[in-house]
Amino acid sequence: MTLPTHADIARRSNTFVFGKGPQTLLCAHGFCSQQRMFRHQVRDFHFRATHRIVTYDLAGFGQSDPQLWSAQRHARLEGYAEDMLRLIDELDLHDITLLGASMSAMVGVLAALQRPERFKALVFIGASPRYLDDGAYIGGFRQADVDAFYDLVRLQHDWAAALSSMMLNQPASWALHDVIDDISAVRVDVVRVVARAIFQSDYRSLLAQVRQPVLITQTCADRVVPVSVGHYLQQTLPKAQLTFMPGAGHLPNFTEPDVFNHTLRTFLASVEAMNSSSLTQ
């Protein structure tokens, strides 16, 4: 699909549209990543037949316009939600199922709460509404942990290796070197600002307001998001189902694509069945 001439944010976000289906899969990658992390979903002929698949690079990452990123606007995830909504408007996207990886899961929540009529369902990949521990809530990190990471970034000392280890939690095979390359390519000033936007955020109070069906996916060996967070999301979101993927790491759609795609197809079919049932009642 050729982007409309007025689609400024879409062009600056290096947006691609694949497939010709009547519905939309909007793929939003995570921290220090880029849209190629969804290549196994883009290549799936089933998804191409039933959906338009939209991929883009978030501000500050991948091949997005460097001038699109703002240290002020993107110091909170709300800035990324604004970008997502502008892209949705420019491309006139409807019946959206969002594939939100890591930080983009909560970006999707923010966008869906503002424009619920555009979103049909949400799919979380390694999502967390809060990364820091808080009383009985186990987010997986103490403030001292993230402060240590901030120091690595500030000193420009092995921060990329530390982040790669957290995200993969397994030896880096040839196929996983894309993840390492994507992390290493990000500007340090972007990492410094967006890391704080993520690790200091707390969106737990918004979860009960989400009305779309949500599929929560993560591995049981994710050093960024412990299994307790997946269970918390399932218990707090009104219409959620939780599926643990095999393998390890923070990117199951990329590292376990066959299982992830099968799970996604099953979820999309269940959403269609629910919608058909509600129309006949």
For 65-95, how does the pLDDT look when each residue is reduced to its tens digit (9 = 90+)?
999 999 999 999 999 999 999 999 999 999 9
Is pLDDT above 70 for 62? Answer: yes
Say what the pLDDT of residue 265 is: 97
Say what the pLDDT of residue 276 is: 74
Alpha helices in the chain, H assignment, sequence order: 8-12, 39-42, 45-50, 77-91, 103-114, 143-155, 159-168, 177-184, 188-199, 227-236, 252-255, 257-280
Say what the pLDDT of residue 160 is: 85
Q: Which of 33, 102, 128, 164 is catalytic?
A: 102
Say what the pLDDT of residue 171 is: 59
pTM of the predicted model, to two decimals? 0.94
Active site annotation includes 40: no
For tokens 């424009």, the residue is: 115
Classify 7 as helix, strand or coil. Answer: coil
Environment class of 31 (CB within 10 Å of its CB; exposed 0-12, middle 13-18, buried 19+): buried
Among 54-63, 166-175, 264-273, the range scoring the smallest mean pLDDT is: 166-175
Handedness of CA 54, 59, 64, 65 (dihedral sign): positive
d(CA 276, CA 265) in angstroms, rounded, equals: 17
Say what the pLDDT of residue 173 is: 57
Q: Mean pLDDT over all residues of the chain? A: 93
Model confidence pLDDT, tens digit, residues 169-213: 665 555 677 888 889 899 999 999 999 999 999 999 999 999 999
Domain regions of the chain by residue span: 8-280
Say what the pLDDT of residue 55 is: 98
d(CA 55, CA 35) in angstroms, rounded, equals: 6
Q: Domain 8-280: which topology?
A: Rossmann fold (3.40.50)
Q: Which of 29, 51, 74, 250 is catalytic?
A: 250
Active site annotation includes 228: no
Active site annotation includes 222: yes
Higher-scoring residue by pLDDT: 171, 234: 234
Is pLDDT above 60 for 12? Answer: yes
Q: Supply angle C-alpha 14, 27, 102, rounded to 5.
A: 110
pLDDT band at 3 (very low <50, low <70, confident <90, very high): confident
